[in-house]
Amino acid sequence: MTQHDRLLIIDFGSQVTQLIARRLRELNVYCEIHPYQNVTDAFLAAFAPRAVIFSGGPDSVTRPGSPRPPQSVYALGVPILGICYGQQVMMQDLGGRVEAGEHATAEFGRAYVEQAGRGDEFLSGWFQGGREQVWMSHGDHVAEIAPGFQVLGTSPGAPFAITADPARRFYAVQFHPEVHHTPNGRTLYENFIRLAGFRGDWTMGAYREEAIAKIRAQVGDAKVICGLSGGVDSSVAAVLIHEAIGDQLTCVFVDHGLLRQNEAAEVVAMFRDNYNIPLIHADESDLFLSALDGVSDPEVKRKTIGKLFIDVFQKHAAEVGGAEFLAQGTLYPDVIESVSFSGGPSVTIKSHHNVGGLPAKMGLKLVEPLRELFKDEVRALGHELGLPASFIGRHPFPGPGLAIRCPGEITREKLAILRKADAVYIDQIRRHGLYDEIWQAFVALLPVRTVGVMGDGRTYDYACALRAVTSVDGMTADYYPFTHDFLSETATRIINEVKGINRVTYDITSKPPGTIEWE
């Protein structure tokens, strides 16, 4: 368990709870999100938070049986901030009154809050311009505030937009300070953590030292295996673990023959030659490509690759002999158990390739040194560990690799064409200084040949689609608005430099309704 000052976020199911955590982490505060069902009296006592935040949520506190925190939270003597549903919970629990939504008082979207009352340390730096823009999203509203509370801010739809009981350091806001559309929201978090006495002791330098000590304590002198994909997460995990236990770590890099141009060589050079990490480079491309021979269904492709990967990884890991631990680059968003109100499993759009099944099958214990980190923190840690910036900032690449960027049957010939086109496209994006603005960019090779004319001759070659999207987390995405000049220059380069492609299209589908990858 971390030694840092800890803040507890009790999750009532808001879509944006993770953003609260990110805002706090940016302010060097260590926090954890836990669903309200798991937060018991005993949990609270063991967690010993220095402050608590109640998230928003979709329920109505006026409904009997709606989500609540344990009432002992109010007796901890620590500051509490209630946001939206969290505000209403606080009011209802402490003797105020909440009314169910009516059209007249519901507020969604941008609103302006004006100062009321005497002001408070919580609002330091706010209301400089008289009023503040905030993001509202509520149906219910507080009709009567709890005894001891006073009003600090009002909006047309929320007379109790900001309320506080300064003596107990309880604060409640109707809006969402964590979202982008509350432009000055960070100030409220800064004020809240300052008045809670946080030292701002969550930094990547400190994290690195602690993580190393923790890995040593967990592993002792046992051997550890790490599956290296070339992605940021597994790379940072490998370098960190190597720093902790040196050559007790062996990395296994499975090359399934579906990687991008030069990718395998770069991974081997970086980890084996640069970091001196023992590395098994398992070139299994023949095996994977023959298993995929004639397969065109996307789900069959994914499942074939996923299953083979586990077998192959296991085989090569066994070469290490006597390993007791498997290292994984699991991140905090994978660990958060979010509150699901939808009930029931959601529809599977794509069966993701992951190595989640490995530990149980191999009888290994897990080392997951990134479990407490968000993606941007992993990047900061990678930077701290000296990984090159160009590597840390790389776009995500899917486990099944180029197989899902080559709709229809995969052949070596198609893969070779795709690799070349992709390399030209990425080079174009880098040359134009656009790489870091784009979440992910790649070429998909389409399973159609089209007629063209080059020189004086007829061509009959493949068409390809360029894809580039902006996104925050890959869950939703929009296409990147390249200029026409960029697109035509890139199309010309691809057709001139890549034999086998005579037509280039740009995919302008957002997600939803499209997905980022083509399969």
Q: Which residue has the tokens 């960019």?
A: 441
The CB-of-399 to ligand XMP minimum distance in angstroms stands at 3
Q: Judge whether 235 is annotated as a binding position.
A: yes
The yes-or-no answer on residue 178 being catalytic is yes
Q: Judge whether 220 is annotated as a binding position.
A: no
> In 3-state terms, what secondary structure has residue 282?
strand
In the 3-class helix/strand/coil scheme, how is 238-281 assigned residue by residue? HHHHHHHHHHHEEEEEEECCCCCCCHHHHHHHHHHHHCCCCEEE
State both tokens at 172: 């409640």
User: What is the DSSP annotation of 353-405?
Assistant: ---TTHHHHHT-EEE-TTTT--HHHHHHHHHHTT--HHHHTPPP--TTGGGGG
The yes-or-no answer on residue 176 being catalytic is yes
Q: Judge whether 252 is annotated as a binding position.
A: no
State both tokens at 126: 């706010």
Rounded Cα–Cα distance for residues 437 and 396 (Å): 13
**Amino acid letter, 167:** A
List the catalytic residue out of 31, 138, 141, 178.
178
Rounded Cα–Cα distance for residues 343 and 289 (Å): 39
CA-closest candidate to residue 130, choices 146, 111, 150, 116: 116
Q: Based on CB atoms, which residue is closest to ligand XMP, 211 or 466?
A: 466
- Backbone phi, psi, residue 9, to 5°: -105, 115
Q: Based on CB atoms, which residue is closest to ligand XMP, 358 or 516?
A: 516
Q: Judge whether 232 is annotated as a binding position.
A: yes
The CB-of-267 to ligand XMP minimum distance in angstroms stands at 16
Dihedral sign, Cα of residue 99, residue 104, residue 110, residue 111: negative
Q: Judge whether 510 is annotated as a binding position.
A: no
User: What is the DSSP annotation of 462-483?
Assistant: EEEEEEEEE-SSSSSBEE----
Q: Based on CB atoms, which residue is closest to ligand XMP, 171 or 439?
A: 439
Q: Based on CB atoms, which residue is closest to ligand XMP, 394 or 511?
A: 511
The CB-of-398 to ligand XMP minimum distance in angstroms stands at 3
Pairing of strands 501-506, 457-470: parallel
The CB-of-440 to ligand XMP minimum distance in angstroms stands at 5
**DSSP annotation of 511:** B
Spatial CB neighbours of 23, under 8 Å, sequence gap ≥ 6: 177, 178, 185, 186, 189
The CB-of-160 to ligand XMP minimum distance in angstroms stands at 40
List the catalytic residue out of 4, 138, 176, 353.
176
Rounded Cα–Cα distance for residues 359 and 328 (Å): 10
Spatial CB neighbours of 380, under 8 Å, sequence gap ≥ 6: 204
The CB-of-296 to ligand XMP minimum distance in angstroms stands at 17
The CB-of-298 to ligand XMP minimum distance in angstroms stands at 10
The CB-of-498 to ligand XMP minimum distance in angstroms stands at 22
Q: Based on CB atoms, which residue is closest to ligand XMP, 353 or 419?
A: 353
The yes-or-no answer on residue 377 being catalytic is no
Q: Based on CB atoms, which residue is closest to ligand XMP, 101 or 474?
A: 474
Q: Judge whether 231 is annotated as a binding position.
A: yes
Q: Which residue has the tokens 């296409």?
A: 479
Rounded Cα–Cα distance for residues 513 and 219 (Å): 45
Task: Give the interface with ligand XMP as residue ranges (CB under 6 A).
Answer: 350, 352-353, 396, 398-400, 440, 474, 511, 515-517
> Facing residues of 27 across strands?
none
Q: Based on CB atoms, which residue is closest to ligand XMP, 151 or 335?
A: 335
439 in Cβ contact with 425 (< 8 Å): no
List the catalytic residue out of 4, 31, 84, 226.
84
Q: Based on CB atoms, which residue is closest to ligand XMP, 87 or 440?
A: 440
The torsion region of residue 395 among left (phi > 0), alpha (psi -120 to 50) and beta comes to: beta
**DSSP annotation of 173:** E
The CB-of-388 to ligand XMP minimum distance in angstroms stands at 21
Q: Judge whether 234 is annotated as a binding position.
A: yes
Q: Based on CB atoms, which residue is closest to ligand XMP, 134 or 236?
A: 236
CB atoms within 10 A of CB 278: 15
Residue ranges of the annotated binding site are: 229-235
Residue ranges of the annotated binding site for ATP are: 229-235
List the catalytic residues: 84, 176, 178
